[in-house]
Amino acid sequence: MKALHSSIDKNGRLLIPHQIRNTMKLKAGDSFIINKVNNELHLVTLHKAVKEAQALFK
């Protein structure tokens, strides 16, 4: 997928473009873990983060 443009509104909200939301099956209310890594933001769905954590204990 090509890079897409987004911006932060005056309330601090970041819009995730619909192409990404559709591809990743994201919906309103989904939760994310946000990490700052080397001056970049990395977003991981809470669902994926939990699955990865559970895999560490199997």
* pTM (2 d.p.): 0.72
Nearest Cα to 30, choosing from 11, 50, 10, 12?
Answer: 50
Predicted pLDDT of residue 2 = 85
Supply the Cα-derived Rg of the chain in whole angstroms. 13
List, for residues 11-45, the tens digit of each pLDDT value: 999 999 999 999 999 999 999 999 999 999 999 99
Structural domain spans, the chain: 8-56
β-pairing, 32-37 vs 40-45, is antiparallel
Please, which residues bridge with residue 32 across strands?
45
CA distances from 43 to 20, 31, 57, 58 (A): 12, 10, 23, 24
58 band by pLDDT with thresholds 50, 70 and 90: confident
Q: Enter the CATH code of domain 8-56.
A: 2.10.260
The answer, yes or no, to whether residue 1 has pLDDT greater than 90, is no
The SS3 of residue 30 is coil
